[in-house]
Structure 1
Amino acid sequence: MNNLVLSLTGSAAAGALTLISPSGWSSRTRAAYVVVPGVLVTAAGAWALSQNTGEDESVGSGAVTEHGSPSGEVPVSVQRMPVAARAALLLGLGAATCGVQAASLRIDALLERWLVGRGAAHPRRWMAALAVLASLGMDAAGDRVNALTGEGPRRTP
């Protein structure tokens, strides 16, 4: 939680969104909840893959010889993925995202029914509290991993 304000804001947003029950959503809204993130992930992946220009890049020590060329440099050819492999990767990422979104709707309904079955008067409030705690816990765990690996604090733009 290097950025406490960001962590608290994200956790509050997660809790607030959890208060909204998808059980009352129309079939169009449910379909959009499943499909739109998959399309966005596919589009973002396509953009990221398009940034690979296929030019040669060099990886080396950074030292420069008297001729102006880096010493200890190893040329590394960055080749573009074949179109079929790129399309398969992007479609797989999009489909996986849609699958996670669809599963989250089922898990949400199961958890809400389970809480109601246990006598919870306001199951969405309990679910929101769990979402807040999970979000804060993930932030804390990420910071702990960064500290253990020596990566230091996260940088925010």
Structure 2
Amino acid sequence: MIECHVGPSPLGHILYRAENDCLTGLYFVGQKHFPNGLPEPVLSDAAPGSRVIALACEQIGEYFAGARRDFSIALQLHGTPFQRQVWDVLRQIPFGDAWTYGDLARRLGLPAGASRAVGGANGRNPVSIIVPCHRVIGGDGDLTGYAGGVERKRHLLTLEGGPGREQLALF
């Protein structure tokens, strides 16, 4: 059974999607690559019916409050084998750290020239924040694309106090 729920966050409404007791999606409403076929995202005061969505809402709230660094939510990520490999490596980026697209390519055993393909997979990450695609930056330190928007990426990196926060403060 598929369930969706829209909840608030300091960076805008988030749509949570669950299937078979696993979280399958966490999207900022209106973000790039927002999936087709989901119900119209409407914020509701009702509690989520799904246990996994309720847990995800709770843990995301703790993350934004500065009380959580790691997530313990069952995930089921739908994507190509390459995308799932990239998303697995993203989960290895420590809280407060940032890797480049080239770093990701090398950790996958690919040449640095594969950064574009890695970036494409990164951008299609269906579970933002929990699979921390926001922790990936350009080789020159620039905050390159983020499906949720560069301002949200900047906020998430600043919240985590990671490398580049001095640069982030300049913006």
**Same fold, judged at TM 0.5 (above):** no
The TM-score, its normalising length taken from structure 2, stands at 0.22
Compare CA radii of gyration and give the structure with the larger one.
1
When you count strand as a share of all residues, which structure comes out higher?
2
When you count helix as a share of all residues, which structure comes out higher?
1
The TM-score, its normalising length taken from structure 1, stands at 0.23
RCO greater where, 1 or 2, for CA within 8 Å and sep 6 or more?
1
